[in-house]
Amino acid sequence: MEVRVLEYIVLGAIQGITEWLPVSSEGIITVAYSELLAAPVSDAIPYALWLHAGTAMSAIVSFKSQIVKLMREVVSIPKKPSNILVFLLISTVISGLVGLPLFIMIDKLSESVGLSAMVLVGILMIATGAIQFVKPTLPKQTSDQTPVLDALLAGFAQGLSVLPGLSRSGLTISVLVLRKVDKQSAITLSFIMSIPASLAASTYIILSDKVDVSTEHIVAGLVAFIFGLITIQGLVKIASRINFGMFVIPIGILMLAGAAWEWIGT
């Protein structure tokens, strides 16, 4: 097996594992891609978004019963849609309105900022970790009770997570928990709402020629799907019990230290 293909397999495996943890899979893939392939951040960010297609398919398989139920509801065109369907529609639209302009801005900036991009990722990783130490104080509700405001806030948080270093699941779950949604419902909502956003982002990346759909990229996407499918249930349980802020913050600090060391050496 060629070394280059092996590196893409490693990237796919990293995506398949880290997607379900509040550690910013995009930030980690951006760093890993840049280091393994000696590629600029401007190439790494679109590639990280491309890999989300693989884990989105994993989520579809894992939550197939909920998704089939939602699809049947959409086809039936109900006069009064369920709260969860309203939540998903609103959060998806808001994610696109926030995330697309941010991605375009980051894509343009990453072509010129170089080392500064690594500093940004490190800072956002630290922010992701800090958010996870915030404790909710409000009474809890289930996903069936999720109001429109929760959808707006969760969609906004998901849109922000296009910034490498901000964890999509960490942000959306934290927002929902702070909005008094019980943690298990927040986790389920977070991963289901990621599906349309991830597929839309991957489609945009392909149509805008940000990523060449090569054999290596397809292999990496398949590996992300397989690893995502294997690990999702176990890692979701782990994520619900462990505060990953204690891991993410040191990673962010190490990235800042590495960027500083590289800057001093230039």
Q: Which of 42-51, 75-84, 125-134, 179-188 is least confident?
A: 125-134
Q: How many angstroms separate the CA atoms of 68 and 74, rounded?
A: 10
Whether residue 255 contacts residue 38, with contact meaning beta carbons closer than 8 Å, is answered with no
Helix (H) or strand (E) holding 24: none
Which whole number is the average pLDDT over 62-85? 86
Q: Strand, coil or helix: what is 181? A: strand
Whether residue 232 contacts residue 54, with contact meaning beta carbons closer than 8 Å, is answered with no
Whether residue 143 contacts residue 189, with contact meaning beta carbons closer than 8 Å, is answered with yes
Which of 104-108, 139-143, 174-178 is most confident?
174-178
Q: How many angstroms separate the CA atoms of 77 and 61, rounded?
A: 24
Residue 138 above 60 pLDDT?
A: no
Which whole number is the average pLDDT over 76-87? 83
Structural domain count of the chain = 1
Whether residue 45 contacts residue 162, with contact meaning beta carbons closer than 8 Å, is answered with no
Whether residue 106 contacts residue 45, with contact meaning beta carbons closer than 8 Å, is answered with yes
DSSP state of 23: S
Q: Which domain holds residue 233?
A: 3-265
Core vs surface per residue 164-177: b (16+ CB within 10 A) or e: bbbbbbbbbbbbbb
Which residue would you say has higher pLDDT here, 45 or 134? Answer: 45
Residue 128 above 80 pLDDT?
A: no
